[in-house]
């Protein structure tokens, strides 16, 4: 965060300073991360009250407290009506002070990958601040903005939500120069009510665009017309991840390598470039299109796009391909899951030759139609020629049941990891072909435990059985 004063902070958050003014260089909502010169902001929620830890923050070295109720400390306090709103106001104030060129990204799936792509591309041009991890909600976004410093020329902000109004709030803090909705799919339906509710919530990201801002729209989405109807006074560019429609950013001559990584020709309104991806997944072709569209509005060139993508790093748990022995390929895509992201991962799994196995954990927050959406995934796996579907959890059983009902297919459900891995070992030991195993599920399903168990199993050392040839 920029170095400033308590009085400046108070002026930006409609606060009243009680105590002596001083210089500060950080704001924290967690007493475990307090350093000398930090301000502790006491958040308050339904099940916690950060004001109870004000004294702990002082003992940890905090220089001041931001509070909405009396606290017993001997350091200065800035009093406000609502500390959560104060956090947002302060994040927005720091953003105005630094004024970086800013991208805002939302979507049901792919937004983190697009964010990482944008950051890698813009790093070819200058200093970039990007959202860390899942700091993409109404608390995480202002905390990210508070990390801005004077050297930052660009900001790449990921905006998530689980209810209507959240993206409208965070976009108003971010005030991006260019914004996009990567896609809208069945996700967080308990908070949004329906798929249309998801699309409406995502469209809030365009409200924060200024008169000179640019919206990047996915024309392959069923909600493309709905979104563009909200952008009649804005500049709009389009991308077509499925190559179904004419758009400003498209891909041609797509080739998927043995490692699952795609190479293709990126076609844009500013020319063409040959792209080689170093992260697997055919769906990442679409992610490149939107990342290129976003960054090129801030001055990036096609060469920056090409070189940045070659330099980007893998995101842990997001479709990492691991080789086990000489025969087994393990696709770790355990960070999170909804219908769209699972189908995209299945698309990638289907590109590998040999035996393909899907291990599916529960997809959460899908509302009253949750079982229907799991059945959809089971049917999609069938349509893509997947050979085995093992499910783990409760809801995912609907996927394996649909799959198992198809002739010649093996769908099984498990309630513990040991049984799942044992069945996997037994079923696959007889296979004489290469084997690809995709592990996917929502964050709360903790499917990384399945990945670890497979790596520790005999499959981690599995070698193809070779028949002796008689001489």
Q: What is the pLDDT of residues 374-433, one digit of tens each?
A: 999 999 999 999 999 999 999 999 999 999 999 989 999 999 999 999 999 999 877 778
**Is residue 107 marked as binding?**
yes
The sign of the dihedral angle between the CA atoms of 312, 314, 320, 322 is positive
Class of domain 320-467: alpha beta
What is the CATH architecture of 4-83? 3-Layer(aba) Sandwich (3.40)
pLDDT at 189: 59
User: Residue 392 contacts by C-beta under 8 Å, 6 or more apart in sequence?
Assistant: 359, 360, 361, 362, 413, 414, 415, 417, 420, 441, 445, 447, 450
Q: What is the pLDDT of residues 62-81, one digit of tens each?
A: 999 999 999 999 999 999 99
Tell whether 110 is in a known binding site.
yes
Residues comprising the chain, all counted? 471
Is residue 308 a known part of a binding site?
A: no
pLDDT digits (tens, 9 = 90+) for 112-129: 999 999 999 999 999 999
Instruction: Please check if 115 is assigned to a binding site.
Output: no
Cite the beta strand spans of 126-260 per DSSP E: 128-130, 154-158, 178-181, 214-218, 235-239, 250-256
Tell me the two tokens of residue 52.
């109870």
Does 99-311 carry CATH code 3.40.1190.10? yes
111 labeled binding residue: yes
Distance, in Å, from the CA atom of 305 to the CA atom of 296, rounded to the nearest integer, reads 8
pLDDT exceeds 60 at position 188: no
What residue ranges do the domains of the chain occupy?
A: 4-83, 99-311, 320-467
Prediction pTM value: 0.84
- Name the residue with higher pLDDT: 454 or 259: 454
């Amino acid at each position: 965060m920029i170095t400033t004063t308590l009085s400046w902070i108070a002026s930006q958050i409609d606060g009243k300073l009680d105590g002596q003014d001083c210089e500060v260089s950080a704001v924290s909502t967690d007493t475990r991360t307090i350093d000398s010169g930090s301000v502790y902001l006491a958040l308050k929620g339904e099940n916690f009250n950060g004001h109870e830890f004000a004294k702990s923050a002082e003992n940890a070295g905090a220089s001041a407290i931001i509070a909405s109720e009396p606290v017993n400390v001997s350091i200065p306090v800035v009093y406000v009506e609502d500390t959560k709103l104060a956090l947002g106001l302060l994040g927005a104030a720091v953003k105005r002070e630094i004024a970086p060129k800013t991208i805002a990204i939302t979507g049901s799936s792919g937004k983190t990958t697009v964010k990482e792509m944008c950051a890698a591309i813009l790093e070819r041009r200058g200093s970039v601040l990007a959202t860390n991890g899942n700091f993409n909600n109404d608390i995480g976004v202002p905390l990210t903005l508070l990390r801005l410093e004077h050297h930052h020329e660009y900001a790449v902000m990921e905006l998530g939500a689980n209810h209507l109004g959240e993206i409208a709030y965070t976009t108003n803090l971010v005030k991006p120069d260019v914004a996009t909705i990567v896609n809208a799919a069945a996700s967080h339906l308990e908070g949004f009510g329906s798929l249309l509710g998801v699309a409406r919530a995502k469209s809030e990201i365009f409200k924060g665009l200024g008169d000179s801002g640019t919206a990047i729209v996915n024309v392959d989405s069923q909600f493309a017309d709905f979104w563009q109807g909200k952008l009649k006074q804005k500049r709009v560019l389009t991308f077509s991840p499925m190559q179904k429609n004419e758009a400003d950013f498209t891909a041609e001559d797509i080739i998927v390598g043995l490692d699952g990584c795609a190479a293709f020709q990126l076609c844009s309104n500013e020319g063409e470039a040959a792209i080689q991806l170093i992260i697997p997944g055919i769906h990442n072709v679409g992610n490149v299109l939107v990342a290129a569209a976003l960054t090129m509005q801030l001055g990036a060139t096609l060469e920056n796009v090409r070189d940045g993508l070659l330099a980007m790093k893998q995101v842990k748990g997001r479709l990492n391909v691991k080789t086990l022995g000489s025969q087994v390929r393990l696709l770790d895509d355990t960070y999170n899951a909804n219908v769209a992201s699972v189908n995209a991962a299945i698309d990638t799994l289907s590109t590998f030759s040999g035996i393909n196995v899907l291990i599916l954990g529960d997809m959460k927050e899908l509302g009253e139609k949750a079982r229907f959406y799991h059945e959809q995934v089971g049917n999609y796996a069938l349509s893509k020629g997947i050979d085995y579907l093992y499910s783990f959890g409760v809801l995912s059983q609907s996927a394996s049941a649909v799959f198992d009902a198809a002739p010649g297919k093996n769908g099984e459900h498990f309630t513990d990891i040991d049984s799942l891995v044992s069945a996997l070992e037994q079923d696959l030991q007889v296979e004489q072909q290469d084997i690809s195993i995709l592990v996917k599920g929502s964050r709360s399903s903790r499917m990384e435990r399945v990945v670890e168990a497979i790596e520790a199993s005999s499959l981690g050392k599995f070698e193809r059985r070779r028949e002796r040839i008689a001489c």
